């Protein structure tokens, strides 16, 4: 006891001495030395905020692959994890090399950027921010756009084809759209289309790639009967899907408020519209499924939250709290009906609902800006001050939003179709029937994700 | 000797074990199994689509008993495992030719 007491006293003395030394240091005395200007402090805050936001958006990647892994079967879960990890890693490299230059480089005719390939300077600057923090933020966004495809083509896409596809999305398809809408020279930007954090740029782009991919790869073995009726293929881990959903939601607090690229007061409003839309989306999806199926559907309610998040992404800085609730409610209903139509009418197999969440609600959210935008909110948040159709602005903004949506659908539809066609003719895009039955973990990676578990026995055999 | 093989609801296992112990038969083998009788499986819902689960989880419990205890043991299982609803399970009874305890080599009912 005595020894310990002495030790503690020495520690206290040492700390006190250190504090005195530091306090007496001339550079640290108030009003002297290297005190920072308000501009420098502001830049520091902005840098920290954008880096934190980038990290949150980066972590959405985990949300995506956990959601996918949970909603699919255990024999394909290791494949789902590697797809999610690899599309980020390959995407980060290609976006640094190519994508960033196409998106934010010197404008060429409003269509594409063309400078800043392989950024390699010592701490360059970009619009008042260190360029590398902006680049990292944009890499995380590009990763999100690319990984949306993963869930839609889960359980049957060839891993090699998937990797090539995501490289092409982050390297070319996504940055061109990003240039149109977010770069100052982009033709849709100049026209005044508004997509604050990327309902169109990220989610519609990823969602359309997902639609085209899922359609061209074809449904999973056993998904549709010979008469065309669909079979349910239950996922293996609902807790994984729940955690994935909330990781995505958490990441959205970087995605939407981070898109200010400034530590301004607007981040508070944006975080709230984001929260309300997600909550409204989840609640409405739950009630719609409760009413239609007799019980509240678990994974569709998760989809409802994500649908609300996707839909508010374009308008999060331009709309009121009440409008964000309405936007989220519509998204929650849309996602349920979209899943049913895509599954039963279009017969496109989308195991996780990626097309309904990202394409359908990306489009809805973009259109919603033309309906719900309020100049007072835009102005207070230091962004474009525009009134939508419901707030006396007429159809002008709605028209710009629709033009943006249609143009992006055309670009992504054509390029992604060409991409998957080329992959089909070369490396192949679909795992064989035998390989799918065995599971992609074994076929594509030669391992089992859960080697100590017994497989489930069903009438269709051991899965 | 007879072997009593009872296929029961997993949640009734504890009650059946309690009955067997009180009759002096603590030694059982329990296996998690799946199957169905006449009632077939159940219907579940996944993202708005119904699907059938044909094989339901059950517990298979095996115990070897003296001929004169058979009635008591079967009645005990009936008492403990019965809920009165479809899916309570079945009891099968087999003749046992012999039993051998591996540790000592004893045979017959002494080995049980």
pLDDT per position as a tens digit, A202-226: 999 999 999 999 999 999 999 999 9
Question: Does A232 contact B55 at a Cβ distance shorter than 8 Å?
Answer: no
Domain segments of chain A: what residues? 40-462
How many Å apart are CA B9 and CA B86, to the nearest integer?
Answer: 11
Higher-confidence residue of A110 and A17: namely A110
Contacts of A299 in chain B (CB under 8 A): 46-47
* pLDDT the model gives residue A123: 95
Q: Name the pLDDT band for A161 (thresholds 50, 70, 90).
A: very high
Q: Print pLDDT tens along chain B (112 aa).
A: 999 999 999 999 999 999 999 999 888 999 999 998 887 888 999 998 888 888 899 999 999 999 999 999 999 999 999 999 999 999 999 999 999 999 999 999 888 8
Question: Residues of chain A with pLDDT > 70: what percent?
Answer: 93
3-state secondary structure labels for all residues of B14-64:
HHHHHHHHHCCCCCCEEEEEEECCCCCCEEEEECCEEEEECCEEEEEEEEE
Mean pLDDT of A323-345: 98
3-state secondary structure labels for all residues of chain A:
CHHHHHHHHHHHHHHHHHHHHHHHCHHHCCCCCCCCCHHHHHHHHHHHHHHHHHHHHHHHHHHHHHHHHHHCCHHHHHHHHHHHHHHHHHHHHHHHHHHHHHHHCCEECCCEECCCCCCCCCCCEECCEEHHHHHHHHHHHHHHHHHHHHHHCCCCECHHHHHHHHHHHHHHHHHHHHHHHHCCCCHHHHHCCCCCCCHHHHHHHHHHHHHHHHHHHCCCCCCECCCCCECCCCCCCHHHHHHHHHHHHHHHHHHCHHHHCCCCCHHHHHHHHHHHHHHHHHHHHHHHHHHHHCCCCHHHHHHHHHHHHHHHHCCCCCCCHHHHHHHHHHHHHHHHHHHHHHHHHCCCCCCCCHHHHHHHHHHHHHHHHHHHCCHHHHHHCCCCCCCCHHHCCCCHHHHHHHHHHHHHHHHHHHHHHHHHHHHHHCCCCECCHHHHHHCHHHHHHCCCCCCCCCCCEECCEEC
Question: Does B45 contact A230 at a Cβ distance shorter than 8 Å?
Answer: no
Question: Does B54 contact A458 at a Cβ distance shorter than 8 Å?
Answer: yes
Chain A: nearest CA to B103, how far in angstroms? Answer: 30
What is the domain range of residue B75?
A: 2-111
* pLDDT the model gives residue A21: 62
Pick the CATH number of A40-462 from 1.10.3430.10, 1.10.569.10, 3.40.50.2020, 3.30.1490.20: 1.10.3430.10
pLDDT per position as a tens digit, A260-274: 999 999 999 999 999
A-B CB pairs within 8 A amount to: 43
Chain B: nearest CA to A438, how far in angstroms? Answer: 21
Question: Residues of chain A with pLDDT > 90: what percent?
Answer: 89
Asked casually if ipTM beats, i.e. exceeds, 0.95, the reply is no
Mean pLDDT of A357-364: 98
pLDDT per position as a tens digit, A120-130: 999 999 999 99
* pLDDT the model gives residue A19: 66
Mean pLDDT of A420-439: 97
Question: Does A231 contact B51 at a Cβ distance shorter than 8 Å?
Answer: yes
Q: Name the pLDDT band for A317 (thresholds 50, 70, 90).
A: very high
Contacts of B55 in chain A (CB under 8 A): 457-459
Chain A: nearest CA to B53, how far in angstroms? Answer: 7
Mean pLDDT of A53-67: 98
Its pTM stands at: 0.88
* pLDDT the model gives residue A250: 98
Nearest by CB to B48, from A292, A457, A459: name it: A292
- Count of the separate structural domains present in chain B: 1
Question: Does B45 contact A295 at a Cβ distance shorter than 8 Å?
Answer: yes
Residue B55 is part of a domain; what is its CATH number? 3.30.70.120
* pLDDT the model gives residue A364: 98
Question: Does B46 contact A230 at a Cβ distance shorter than 8 Å?
Answer: no
pLDDT per position as a tens digit, A386-398: 999 999 999 999 9
Contacts of A300 in chain B (CB under 8 A): 47-48
Question: Does B55 contact A459 at a Cβ distance shorter than 8 Å?
Answer: yes
Contacts of B51 in chain A (CB under 8 A): 231-232, 234
User: Over the range A185-199, which residues count as b (16 or more CB within 10 Å of their CB) and which as e?
Assistant: bbbbbeeebbbbbbb
Question: Does A458 contact B44 at a Cβ distance shorter than 8 Å?
Answer: no
Q: In this model, does residue A1 exceed pLDDT 50?
A: no
């Amino acid at each position: 006891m005595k020894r310990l007491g002495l030790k503690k006293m020495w520690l206290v003395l040492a700390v006190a001495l250190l504090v005195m030394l530091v306090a007496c240091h001339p550079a640290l005395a108030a009003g002297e030395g290297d005190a920072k200007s308000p501009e420098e402090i502001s830049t520091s805050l902005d840098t920290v905020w954008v880096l934190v936001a980038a990290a949150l958006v980066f972590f959405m990647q985990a949300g995506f692959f956990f959601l996918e892994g949970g909603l699919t079967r255990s024999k394909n879960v290791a494949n789902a994890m590697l797809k999610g990890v690899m599309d980020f890693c390959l995407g980060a490299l290609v976006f640094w090399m190519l994508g960033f230059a196409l998106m934010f480089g010197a404008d060429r005719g409003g269509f594409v950027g063309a400078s800043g390939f392989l950024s390699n300077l010592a701490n360059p600057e970009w619009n008042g921010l260190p360029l590398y923090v902006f680049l990292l933020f944009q890499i995380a966004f590009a990763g999100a756009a690319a990984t949306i495809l993963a869930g839609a083509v889960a359980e049957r896409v060839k891993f090699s084809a998937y990797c090539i596809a995501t490289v092409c999305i982050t390297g070319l398809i996504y940055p061109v759209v990003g240039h149109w809408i977010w770069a100052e020279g982009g033709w849709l930007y100049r026209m005044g289309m508004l997509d604050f954090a990327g309902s169109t740029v990220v989610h519609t782009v990823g969602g359309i790639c997902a639609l085209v991919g899922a359609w061209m790869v074809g449904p999973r073995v056993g998904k549709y009967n010979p008469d065309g009726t669909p079979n349910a293929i239950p996922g293996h881990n609902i807790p994984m899907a729940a955690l994935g959903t909330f990781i995505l939601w958490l990441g959205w607090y970087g995605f939407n408020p981070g898109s200010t690229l400034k530590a301004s007061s607007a981040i508070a409003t944006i975080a709230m519209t984001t929260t309300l839309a997600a909550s409204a989306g989840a609640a409405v999806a739950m009630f719609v499924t409760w009413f239609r199926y007799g019980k509240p559907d678990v994974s569709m309610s998760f989809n409802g939250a994500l649908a609300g998040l996707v839909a508010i992404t374009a308008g999060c800085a331009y709309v009121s709290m009440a409008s964000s609730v309405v936007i989220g409610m519509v998204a929650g209903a849309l996602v349920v009906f979209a899943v049913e139509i895509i599954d039963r009418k279009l017969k496109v197999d989308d195991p996780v609902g990626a097309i309904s969440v990202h394409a359908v609600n990306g489009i809805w959210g973009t259109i919603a800006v033309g309906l719900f935008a309020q100049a007072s909110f835009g102005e207070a948040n230091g962004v474009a001050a525009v009134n939508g159709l419901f707030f006396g602005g007429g159809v002008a903004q709605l028209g710009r939003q629709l033009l943006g949506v249609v143009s992006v659908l055309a670009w992504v539809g054509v390029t992604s179709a060409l991409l998957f066609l080329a992959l089909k003719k070369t490396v192949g895009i679909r795992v064989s029937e035998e390989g799918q039955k065995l599971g992609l973990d074994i076929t594509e990676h030669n391992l089992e994700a859960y080697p100590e578990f017994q497989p489930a026995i069903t009438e269709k055999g051991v899965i | 000797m007879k072997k009593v093989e009872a296929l029961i609801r997993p949640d009734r296992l504890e009650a059946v074990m309690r009955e067997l112990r009180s009759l002096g038969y603590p030694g059982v083998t329990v296996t998690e199994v799946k199957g169905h009788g006449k009632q077939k499986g159940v219907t579940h819902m996944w993202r708005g689509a119904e699907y059938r689960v044909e094989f339901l989880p059950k517990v298979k419990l095996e115990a070897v008993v003296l001929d004169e205890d058979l009635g008591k043991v079967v009645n005990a299982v009936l008492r403990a495992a019965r809920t009165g609803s479809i899916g309570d399970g079945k009891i099968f009874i087999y003749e046992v030719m012999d039993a051998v305890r591996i540790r000592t080599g004893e045979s017959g009912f002494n080995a049980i």
